[in-house]
Structure 1
Amino acid sequence: MRILGIDPGSRITGYGVIATCGHEIGFVTCGTIRTAGETDFSRRLLIIFQDLCEVISVHTPEVAAVEDIFINRNPRSALKLGHARGAAVVAALHNNLAVYDYTARKVKQSVAGYGQAEKGQVQHMVRSLLGLDSIPSEDAADALAVAICHAHHAAFHSELATRI
């Protein structure tokens, strides 16, 4: 199964695609969608949508895992993040992908073993788990971590269903 992980952001949205076979996971691709050059916020959302549709078209994932938003101290930033997340979810649904949501804490726990792991720890663990030659950018690593988190949870639910 191919899993698209998405770390939404209004200026930088990370994406990562992994492939799974049983308990094995492998790297397919990762990158970022940068919208900071666009001053019109609505156009930023369109760029996120269009670029994720392109990633889905090229790499054909079956499901999408998206990091859930967190509420920070700035309500305006949280609203913008929510809009970016919405554009990402709509891109996945538009391409007939099932969408799964994971909190940042759950993603960090799944990948680094600690729910409050620093970004550098997540990058290092993603590199290690996927056998990458270099460390991906923070946003791409976060997206890959979301995909890995889903792979772990999907494998657990699959095993549970097999036992019952």
Structure 2
Amino acid sequence: MKVLGIDPGSHRMGYAVLEKESSRIHVRTYGTIEVPPGTKSPINLIAIRRQLEAILDEFHPDLACVEDLFFAKNRTTAAKVYESRGVVLLTLGEHNIPFVEPTASQIKKGTTGSGVADKKEIKTALKLLLGLAELTGHDDSWDAMASAYVGFAMSSSVGL
């Protein structure tokens, strides 16, 4: 079973594909979908969609795990991230990929045991859980990897 994890963003979106074989989980790929800062909608949304479709076409995930969003203060940022998240969900739907939507605290708890873990704790936990010597790149991709990891536990909620 392959799970695609997504950490939504309007110009930088983390992604990771994990695959479970027997009882072992392997990292197939991870990174960030990036659009140059200042790129206006809908150009940024089209770029995100195209890059996401390339990932879907290459890895054919069975499930996606897209972090649910919570913004308390900056409505402008929230609106832009929700736009890109909508493109992600639409693209998943068009590819018939079921998805789950854990909260940030569920993802943190599912990887570290604590719902209030920080980025460093998540990175350390992922390295241990997945047997990785190092994690490189942006923390958005590590958040996506943590989301994908939690997706395995949530897969039964969508009948997988």
| TM-score when normalising by structure 1 | 0.89
- Higher deviation after alignment, 149-158 or 77-86: 149-158
Query: CA RMSD of the aligned region, Å?
Result: 1.8
Cα distance between partner residues in 2 of 1:48 and 1:29: 17
SS at match of 2:27: strand
Q: Is the CA contact (8 Å cut-off) linking 2:68 and 2:102 kept in structure 1?
A: yes
By how many angstroms is 1:154 displaced?
A: 2.8
Cα distance between partner residues in 2 of 1:157 and 1:93: 14
1:140 — aligned with what?
141
SS at match of 2:132: coil
| TM-score when normalising by structure 2 | 0.91
By how many angstroms is 1:39 displaced?
A: 2.0
1:161 — aligned with what?
none
Q: Which runs of 5+ in 2 are unaligned?
A: none
The number of residue pairs the alignment matches comes to 158
Q: Is the CA contact (8 Å cut-off) linking 1:124 and 1:135 kept in structure 2?
A: no
Q: Which amino acid aligns with 1:60?
A: H
2:60 — aligned with what?
60
Cα distance between partner residues in 2 of 1:16 and 1:79: 24
Aligned pair 1:33/2:33, yes or no? yes
1:83 — aligned with what?
83
Q: Is the CA contact (8 Å cut-off) linking 2:63 and 2:155 kept in structure 1?
A: no
SS at match of 1:41: coil
Q: Which runs of 5+ in 1 are unaligned?
A: 159-164
Matches for 1:54-133 after TM superposition, within 5 Å: 54-133=54-133
Matches for 1:35-50 after TM superposition, within 5 Å: 35-37=35-37, 39-50=39-50
Cα distance between partner residues in 2 of 1:148 and 1:45: 26
Cα distance between partner residues in 1 of 2:155 and 2:69: 21
1:151 — aligned with what?
152
SS at match of 2:5: strand
Q: Is the CA contact (8 Å cut-off) linking 1:69 and 1:85 kept in structure 2?
A: no
SS at match of 2:91: helix
Identity of aligned residues (%): 30
Runs of 4+ in structure 1 deviating by more than 4 angstroms, as ranges, are 155-158
